[in-house]
Structure 1
Amino acid sequence: MRFLFIADPLDHFKIYKDTTYAMMREAARRGHELWACEPRQISWHSGGRVTASAREIQLTGDPNAWYTAGTDDLVALADFDAAVMRKDPPFDSEYFYATHLLEQAEREGARVINSPRSLRDHPEKLAVMEFPQLVPPTLVSRDAQEIRRFHALHGDIILKPLDGMGGLGIFRVGPDGLNLGSITETLNQQGTRTLMAQRYVPEIVHGDKRVLIIAGEPVPYVLARIPQGNEIRGNLAAGGKGVAQPLSPRDREIAAEVGARLAPRGLLLIGLDVIGDRVTEINVTSPTCFQEIQQQTGFDVAQVFVDALERTVEQGRR
């Protein structure tokens, strides 16, 4: 099979932990043909098909020069067996436009993973609002007074931007309300930007668990990202410590409920952020933690993903 990976620049990959690299490595092990491009290299000419200036790549096994690449070639996305969209957030206007180009490619016969429409319809912060029974009390607003009322009701809250990633821009405001106004003004930019407030979940001290769902089924291990020192953020990018753990019965229940609803929408890979027994985010753009789980448990998440990818391609051919 021929797979096109749409991702950030290959030279920026940290292959010792990169999930997209793990996917590529497993696909290459099976003899599949790998191509790569960035979203900026996708084009659509009127009257023509959606194309990408892409390169075929070969993995070398050398961590210092992990791939070799051919020359750029203009290829139609519909000519691949699958195009795997792995561009990291932020979900900005350029990402939004990319989903429209990818959706047009689907109309031309391309198979895009995850579904571009579902990527667009499930922003990673807002997607949790479909599952009020699973999330902590949550408010989405740009209204400073509404945020003050939410804080007065719940006492200890987390504030974060809707377009953040890696723990960037996350603040905790305790019962004393110290700096609530200043933090709100910083995040909502004087009422022009919408933000999210959630009741603080004290179980964060035990980790923000990444629960992976592939083709509707949960991976049997999670990566608990545990805050270090005085941090409230467990994100690995913010210095959290990743500890792989078996999926708990409650994690499995949560994953089954979310997977049953979202997987049929073309979301082959979903990453839940679970603190205690509450979902705080649903990640569908480029969920990670494949390698950390494999390194600590021996369970090959990439193998499960490529199995599911191959099945999706075969089912689409029938």
Structure 2
Amino acid sequence: MDHRQLGAAGPRVSALGLGCMGMSDLYGPADRAESIATLHAALDAGVTLLDTGDFYGMGHNEMLIAEALGSRRKDVLLSVKFGAQRGPDGAWLGYDARPQAVKAAAAYSLKRLGTEVIDTYRPARLDPAVPIEETIGAIADLVKAGYVRHVGLSEVGVETIRRAAAVHPISDLQIEYSLVSRGVEDGILQACRSLGIGITAYGVLSRGLISGHFAAPAGPRDFRAHSPRFQGENLARNLALVEALRGVAASRGATVAQVAIAWVAAQGADIVPLVGARRRDRLAEALGALPLRLTPADLAAIEAAVPKGAAAGSRYAEAQMATLDSER
């Protein structure tokens, strides 16, 4: 397993991370036994970065990870997001990143994860009611107290990144980055690099859209049933891009997913793709992207197949896009 450095002040982690959300939430039912087997397979393959959030299944995801890790906690870096508020019915209620809420959320995550320290702790979104300096200051207090090792950010823009970094060194920004979601290239990536901040890229397969395997959303509780990119003519146009990419992948003896993951990894040694595999076969396919070295000719062919801005529809519905500081 190759490793990459997450920022000047951050840790070294496996060149591919595992995003665990789908094992608990937002993509329809998941098989518990298969989820745990997939986590074990990731550990056995040398994956050292596991990403979760305290609101994934309202704590279920953290407890699932703790069960899967057992005595192997020392083998991984746990990246945890906090702040998203949800109701008993799963409804989204906004964000809370006040200092007291930060510390309370950390206490519950530590307990659910069965660990004494969270490796990287980050607000899931910017709380518009709380200055980022206060939120990062609270995490910095947790670092000083030994409960957190590194401070991260998620889906924030250039100004917020700079203000946060002035309070405490930031290891990495977690943000959506894929062939069909390239907004990070318009200033955010450059700002992170100037400040020595790494990137953990989620959505590298655009929630399965460019995986080469997409069939249909798994019912109304599947996030994709409400995502603009998966609706009507948008979906047809986007799947046409996938077919164009399939031709490029075939020329390299790779799958569509492997080429899409390798493309993200090729955008810089400071970028670690997160894959949301919740089955062992999908994980194995994703790991197959690591030895794939894209040549300049490959990159040009990929760009021709899926030009920047070619995707139809925004990456979230309008109401969710409005919460993204990174999109302002």
TM-score, normalised on structure 1? 0.31
TM-score computed with the length of structure 2 as normaliser: 0.31
If each structure's strand is expressed as a fraction of its own residues, which one has the higher value? 1
Greater Rg over alpha carbons, structure: 1
Is the helix fraction higher in 1 or 2? 2
Q: Which has the higher contact order (CA 8 A, sep 6+)?
A: 2
